[in-house]
Amino acid sequence: MTTHKNLLGGPDPTYLPENEEAYRLLGEQSQPPVEVAAKHPTFSLAWAMLADDAFEAGRVVESYAYARTGYHRGLDSLRRAGWKGHGPIPWDHRANRGFLRCLAALARAASEINEKDETERCWQFLKDSSAEAYTELKR
C-alpha cells in the first residue's frame, strides 16, 4: 500500500480494514451479495453490489435503500478507522471501494427519484474523497 504525504497539512488518507472472509464468500464460494450482506452487514461492497443489481433491474427505490445502508455502514467503519468526517479515501485500496461504490450508487439512485440536493452532495462527497473513484464511477 502506498501512502501519499499530504503537503497541504490535511488529514491522512483513511484505509478501511480488509474483510477476507467476505471477499472469499463472494469470490471462491460465489455466494450472492444478499447472503454476504446478511453474514457481514458492515461489508459495504455487498451492499454496493445489491444496489447496482437493483438499479440495473429498474428497482430504483430498492437500489437507493441498499446504497444508503452500505453508505451508513461504511461511514461507521471509516470513523472506527480514524476518519474525522473529511479527507482522502483512496480508491486504490480494495477495502475502500465498497463504501465509494455505495456513495456513487446513492447519488445515482437519488438522481432517479429527483432528490437533487442528495445527488449533488453525494457526487461532491465522492469527488472530495477520491477523484479516481469519481472518474471511474460517475458515468
Whether 29 shows a pLDDT value over 70: the answer reads yes
Give dist(CA 131, CA 113) in Å, integer: 25
Work out whether the CA dihedral 23, 79, 106, 132 comes out positive or negative. negative
CB 50 within 8 A of CB 24: no
Residue 9: pLDDT band with limits 50, 70, 90: confident
Who has greater pLDDT, 2 or 134? 134
> Who's near 50: CB < 8 A, 6+ residues apart?
33, 34, 37, 66, 70
Residue 1: pLDDT band with limits 50, 70, 90: very low
Whether 139 shows a pLDDT value over 90: the answer reads no
Over the stretch 61-118, which tens digit does the pLDDT of each residue have?
999 999 999 999 999 999 999 999 999 999 999 999 999 999 999 999 999 999 999 9
Give dist(CA 135, CA 65) in Å, integer: 24
pTM here is 0.92
Model pLDDT, residue 4: 54
Centroid of chain to Cα 42: 11
Give dist(CA 63, CA 109) in Å, integer: 6
Nearest CA to 104 out of 79, 83, 129 is that of 129
Measure the CA angle with vertex 97, ends 115 and 111; round to 5°.
15
Whether 3 shows a pLDDT value over 90: the answer reads no
108-135 residues labelled b (16+ CB within 10 A) or e (exposed) = bbbbeeebeebbeebbebbeebbeebbe
Model pLDDT, residue 7: 60
Over the stretch 39-68, which tens digit does the pLDDT of each residue have?
999 999 999 999 999 999 999 999 999 999
Domain chopping of the chain, boundaries: 33-137
